[in-house]
Amino acid sequence: MEETYLLNVEGVKKKILHGGQGELPKLQDGSKITFHFQTLKDDFERTVIDDSREAGIPMEIIVGKMFKLEIWETLLSSMRIGEVAEFWCDAIHTGMYALVSRGMRRIAEGRDPLEGQKHRCGMGNMFDYHSTGYDDLDELQRTPQPLIFIMELFRVEEPSAYKRDTWAMSKEEKLAAVPVLHSEGNRLVLRKEFGQAAAKYQEAVICLRNLQVKEKPWEDGWLKLENLITPLVLNYCQCQLELGEYYEVLEHTTELLQKHNDNAKAYFKRAKAHAAVWNEREAREDFLRVAQLDPSMAAAVKKELKQLGERMRKKHVEDRKRYQRLFQAPQG
């Protein structure tokens, strides 16, 4: 029979759905907690908001790293390994859930969880967003309410027992990890393992952007990090060109050029992506811009423009033949 417990925390109730094993784990700063969770509304239907099992991988948090939903550390600290428990939490503990869920969903979608975030504290960012991008989370943000969390605890690892993800590192650790990731990406490129190389460059970029969001835009600290980010983004785009992900290249190079409109390499990669998806006018404009910004690339631009002209002529011939066949009268 399920039994309700109080955790000596205002606005929290707990039910054990399945007992765990052993003693309560001893948590310390840097411990990694791995668990599955389900978030429900406290309504008649118990509407499901998030379910980590749908993403296919369990959730991980690092103790003491200021996870925005602090109550989760409290809930998990009351559980034994293998335990499944249901927690009812009042709105005083769930006001930040919309932002936390937004970040988790972006990560599951392969996107940067800090994309678009302004230089503000977490609470300030919450009020800056007119929309999280998800209708159900917008509702929670407008009307904070009690939520139900169902959690299953898998393991607790001491800080020395696992390889730490870059997001869980200190500023100094992140800065030290970036050149290592950059070097690993370059090594994978030489082996033509472009997908794995792109992942290394992307991890380094996200690592630096986690630091950059704490700096004031366009001041010295922000600019130093931006100078580290730019070549990593260009390397990432080159890998995506090799993989045929042309629209990915268009997105990232355009974003880069909005901040650095004199970057010849970004124009060159964007031009190649435009050419690959038959955007002839845009490709020619970008290639000519490259030649203006960096005369040393004029020969490469000339070669690309020649290839673009040949591809477009061949495409026009093929299109003409296709249309002629389409409109030919059927034979009797």
Nearest residue to 146 via CA among 71, 68, 88: 88
Give 171 or 168, the one with higher predicted confidence: 171
Residue 122 pLDDT > 60, yes or no? no
pLDDT at 125: 42
What local confidence, expressed as pLDDT, does residue 166 receive? 64
> How high is the pLDDT of residue 208?
92
pLDDT of residue 185: 94
% of the chain residues with pLDDT over 90: 52
pLDDT band at 329 (very low <50, low <70, confident <90, very high): low
Query: What tens digit of pLDDT does each residue of 256-282 get?
Result: 999 999 999 999 999 999 999 989 999
CB within 8 Å of 50: residues ≥ 6 apart: 37, 38, 39, 101, 104, 105
Please tell me the predicted confidence (pLDDT) of residue 104. Answer: 81
Nearest to 82 by CA among 3, 1, 152: 152
Compute how many other C-beta atoms are within 10 angstroms of the C-beta atom of residue 91.
15
The least confident of 26-30, 70-74, 99-103, 178-182 is 26-30
Q: Does the pLDDT of residue 229 top 60, yes or no?
A: yes
Which tens digits make up the pLDDT trace of 17-74?
999 998 898 888 778 899 999 999 999 999 999 999 887 788 888 887 656 788 998 9
Cα Rg of the chain (Å, integer)? 26
Going along the chain from its start, the domains and CATH numbers come out as 4-116+127-157 (3.10.50.40), 171-319 (1.25.40.10)
3-state secondary structure the chain: CCCEEECCCCCEEEEEEECCECCCCCCCCCCEEEEEEEEEECCCCCCEEEEHHHHCCCEEEECCCCCCCCHHHHHHHCCCECCEEEEEECHHHHCCHHHHHHHHHHHHCCCCCCCCCCCCCHHHHHHHCCCCCCHHHHHHHHCCCCEEEEEEEEEEECHHHCCCCHHHCCHHHHHHHHHHHHHHHHHHHHCCCHHHHHHHHHHHHHHHHHHHCCCCCCCHHHHHHHHHHHHHHHHHHHHHHHHCCHHHHHHHHHHHHHHCCCCHHHHHHHHHHHHHCCCHHHHHHHHHHHHHHCHHHHHHHHHHHHHHHHHHHHHHHHHHHHHHHHHCCCCC
Overall residue count recorded for the chain in this entry: 332
From the list 74, 75, 63, 69, the residue with the least C-alpha distance to 92 is 69
**Cα–Cα distance for residue pair 91/62, rounded to 1 Å:** 24
Cα 271 to the chain's mean position, in Å?
25
Considering the chain, what is the average pLDDT of its residues? Answer: 85
Residue 39's pLDDT is: 95
Which CA distances in Å does 284 have to 245, 287, 306?
20, 5, 10
Amino acid 60: pLDDT: 86
Which range has the worst mean pLDDT, 120-134, 228-242, 304-318? 120-134
Across 115-119, 175-179, 218-222, least confident range: 115-119
Mean pLDDT of 149-173: 76
For residues 20 and 154, is the Cβ–Cβ distance under 8 A?
no
207-218: average pLDDT: 89
Q: What is the pLDDT of residue 301?
A: 93
Max intra-chain CA distance, the chain: 89
State the sign of the Cα–Cα–Cα–Cα dihedral 306, 312, 315, 317.
Answer: negative
The larger pLDDT score, comparing residue 252 to residue 117, is at 252
For 291-302, how does the pLDDT look when each residue is reduced to its tens digit (9 = 90+)?
999 999 999 999
